[in-house]
Structure 1
Amino acid sequence: MPKDVKIDLILHRDASNCMVHSARTDFNVALAPSTTQIDVEQLANTRTRIEASLSGGEKLKPADLEAIGVLLSRVLFAGPVRQIYDAASHGSAVQLSLCITDPGLKSIPWEFLIWPDLKVAPHFARSICRLVTSTPSRPLQNLNLNGGIRIILVVSQPSDQPSVEWIETQNTMKTLIAATTPQLDAKAMEFMVCEASDSSRVREAVQAFDPHIVHFIGHGAPNALIFAKHGSQKSHPLSAAQVHNVLSSKSTRLVVLSACDTANVGSDIAPLIPIAERMVQAGVPAIVANQMPVSLRSIHSFCGALYGELLKSGNIDRAVNAGRIAMGVAFDNIGVAAVEWGVPVLYRRSGCGQLFTTRVKK
């Protein structure tokens, strides 16, 4: 894979309600031209159309999804910002990071953009994440995959919620870990499953195991995850602050939330800071969540590719991108757009793309 070039895009709205954004690399900076001609409502409508297609409404055709991606691309890579992108992407892989605080601009599904030079998305040499402003913290200490990592799978199934299929994801994770771990180093990667009865038991398990990666499978909402209520098997929503205390420990570098709407920011009328973003603000370096409802089939396809790349390169931006590509292939139906691939969202702190260093072969 070619060398990664990092581009930060800062998006906000000015006093006249126009979108203003700039691009920054290690070598250059650019300000986009006036955006008075951009209809933010039209951009927001792209989300409505995609959600409808995912939830049983009118199915988007490939041409429809491509038109949405081209529109998002035209807005992001306008004027001098496009010049920055073209210069950076020439012969290189691009890691695009979006810095957004405006709720309306956050709600736009930028992950569906079509890369302007390649005319396709997703693509193995392009990735996109959302940077989160958080309390300044020390850079991640070096953690080599050869030294081993700990992964915990947390499954939450309250009796009054639809059941979740998690065995396939567990088997995929076990297979990938076994394939990545040399026989002579069998304990290099430790894996455990925690079937949640209630949040207190999950917290005890997480704190005792102190995992580097936490993967949650269950039901969620933009501002909560669903666990069983203490002393009962009925559902009980936990707020973002509570979830952070339950699912993270001192060594946690990545949390994967295989639950619907955990990256949904709501609307201009009722803006939300999604649970994924709040967990990064609270200190978790990176969170992978879903900005819309997802199917079990998409979760399995995405997770297999995500862990396959992460356990090879240690880079979460590349890993999420690999998951998106796998979803696009799995849902490649004739005449119907493969929409699911743009649903996962990567939230992370600046400088935390490389969660682990590359494994050294013996």
Structure 2
Amino acid sequence: MRYIDCTLTIEDLNNVTIEYPDRGKTYVERGSLSADAFAYLTIERLNYWVNFALRMQEDNARNKQEVMKDLMKDLQVIGLNLYGILFSGDNVKDHFGKTYQAFDKEYRQAKAALPPNVTPELRMRLRLVFQKPAEKLATLPWEFLFIPGEGGDLKRGFFFAGQKTELILTRYVPESELLNATGAMPKSERMRILVVVSSPSTLGRVDEKETQALLSQIESIPQVDVKKLLNPTYEQLSAAIDADEPPHILHFIGHGKPGA
């Protein structure tokens, strides 16, 4: 598998750098973030209500399709606000757009040369790195980041995480309180890692070899207890997170959408 990486390092609440490949070389450019308080509030409140609606939907599936249709609109609003915060400056937005367009062109060409049910061994990773002054931003639901189409066309837009299997979104907080806390764990306590695999049959399968390889690596870590969940419901995932001995780390593998 070959990966094309585009890394955004959020330094604080106002500044961001983008590291991107171009013609075999890697470049770094600086940019700015949006400080729109209304966008932050919109994301936080809509995210709350989306999660509330998902919990309700688990209990009552009578209007499932109608609920999911409305939820997707709400998720799109969240995703567009996230996009507006991250790509408020033309410099970073332009370089990200060119990187994605180059990847998309190469991916389509590779796919056209393969049999119908075979996908290219090529992925694009968007890596979000949050420095300590930007920890507040790290708590936002970046998994709903929505990329509008050319000219702001929403119909041609897409959620970067989950909608296209060739796209991968990761976020990393190198100086988070969680890492500091786990580093100070008593030696007698084992690290608990919850691995969640989402592979809905209607959205394309997760690469089983890559998944198993990653699980083997995690399980080989000393003093670690690993729990795996395959295609859990919202309630099952919530129960695993809110258990008497909750996981120190949750690792998500896969893609999906509400109701899939």
Query: TM-score with structure 1 length normalisation?
Result: 0.39
Query: RMSD value over aligned CA atoms?
Result: 4.4
Aligned positions of 1:1-362 closer than 5 A? 4-14=3-13, 19-26=14-21, 27-33=26-32, 35-39=34-38, 40-56=40-56, 60-78=70-88, 79-92=90-103, 93-100=123-130, 101=132, 102-117=134-149, 119-121=157-159, 122-133=163-174, 211-214=216-219, 245-247=223-225, 259-260=237-238, 275-276=248-249, 288-289=251-252, 320=253, 323-324=254-255, 327-328=256-257, 331-332=259-260
- Distance verdict in 2 for CA 1:256–1:133, change over 3 Å: farther
Q: Which residue matches 2:152?
A: none
Deviation at 1:90, TM superposition (A): 1.9
Provide the C-alpha distance between the structure 1 equivalents of 2:46 and 2:94, rounded to a whole number of angstroms: 26
Contact 2:46 2:74 in 1 (8 A): no
Deviation at 1:129, TM superposition (A): 0.6
Contact 1:8 1:98 in 2 (8 A): yes
> What letter matches 2:238 in structure 1?
C
What percent identity do the matched residue pairs reach?
16
Unaligned runs of 5+ residues in structure 1 are 135-153, 157-168, 170-175, 181-188, 191-209, 215-242, 249-254, 265-273, 277-286, 290-319, 333-362
Provide the C-alpha distance between the structure 1 equivalents of 2:15 and 2:135, rounded to a whole number of angstroms: 14
Secondary structure of 1:56's match?
helix
Secondary structure of 1:61's match?
helix
Q: Decide which structure has greater helix share.
A: 2
Provide the C-alpha distance between the structure 2 equivalents of 1:108 and 1:42, rounded to a whole number of angstroms: 11
Out of 109-118 and 28-37, give the one that drifted further.
28-37
> What letter matches 1:80 in structure 2?
N
> What letter matches 1:4 in structure 2?
Y
- Distance verdict in 2 for CA 1:263–1:127, change over 3 Å: farther
Provide the C-alpha distance between the structure 2 equivalents of 1:244 and 1:261, rounded to a whole number of angstroms: 26
Cα deviation digits, residues 171-197 of structure 1 (max 9, x gap): xxxxx99x97xxxxxxxx89xxxxxxx
Provide the C-alpha distance between the structure 1 equivalents of 2:93 and 2:240, rounded to a whole number of angstroms: 31
Query: TM-score with structure 2 length normalisation?
Result: 0.52
Structure 1 residue ranges (4+ consecutive) displaced by more than 6 angstroms after TM superposition: 261-264
> What letter matches 2:248 in structure 1?
I
> What letter matches 1:5 in structure 2?
I
> What letter matches 1:123 in structure 2?
K
Cα deviation digits, residues 67-113 of structure 1 (max 9, x gap): 22222122222321111111211231420111123442122101111
Provide the C-alpha distance between the structure 1 equivalents of 2:174 and 2:29, rounded to a whole number of angstroms: 21
Contact 2:29 2:91 in 1 (8 A): yes
- Distance verdict in 2 for CA 1:25–1:51, change over 3 Å: same
Q: Which residue matches 1:195?
A: none
- What is the number of equivalent residue pairs in this alignment? 175
Contact 1:32 1:80 in 2 (8 A): yes
- Distance verdict in 2 for CA 1:5–1:41, change over 3 Å: same
Secondary structure of 2:223's match?
helix
Provide the C-alpha distance between the structure 2 equivalents of 1:13 and 1:244, rounded to a whole number of angstroms: 34
Provide the C-alpha distance between the structure 1 equivalents of 2:146 and 2:32, rounded to a whole number of angstroms: 20
Deviation at 1:132, TM superposition (A): 4.2
Contact 2:33 2:85 in 1 (8 A): no
Provide the C-alpha distance between the structure 1 equivalents of 2:96 and 2:137, rounded to a whole number of angstroms: 21
Contact 1:44 1:107 in 2 (8 A): no
Secondary structure of 2:34's match?
coil
Out of 28-37 and 119-128, give the one that drifted further.
28-37
Cα deviation digits, residues 201-252 of structure 1 (max 9, x gap): xxxxxxxxx94344xxxxxxxxxxxxxxxxxxxxxxxxxxxx982327xxxx
Secondary structure of 1:91's match?
helix
> What letter matches 1:275 in structure 2?
H
- Distance verdict in 2 for CA 1:37–1:246, change over 3 Å: closer
> What letter matches 1:22 in structure 2?
T
Cα deviation digits, residues 267-301 of structure 1 (max 9, x gap): xxxxxxx822xxxxxxxxxx614xxxxxxxxxxxx
Unaligned runs of 5+ residues in structure 2 are 58-66, 104-122, 150-155, 176-191, 200-205
Provide the C-alpha distance between the structure 2 equivalents of 1:99 and 1:262, rounded to a whole number of angstroms: 27
Deviation at 1:128, TM superposition (A): 0.3
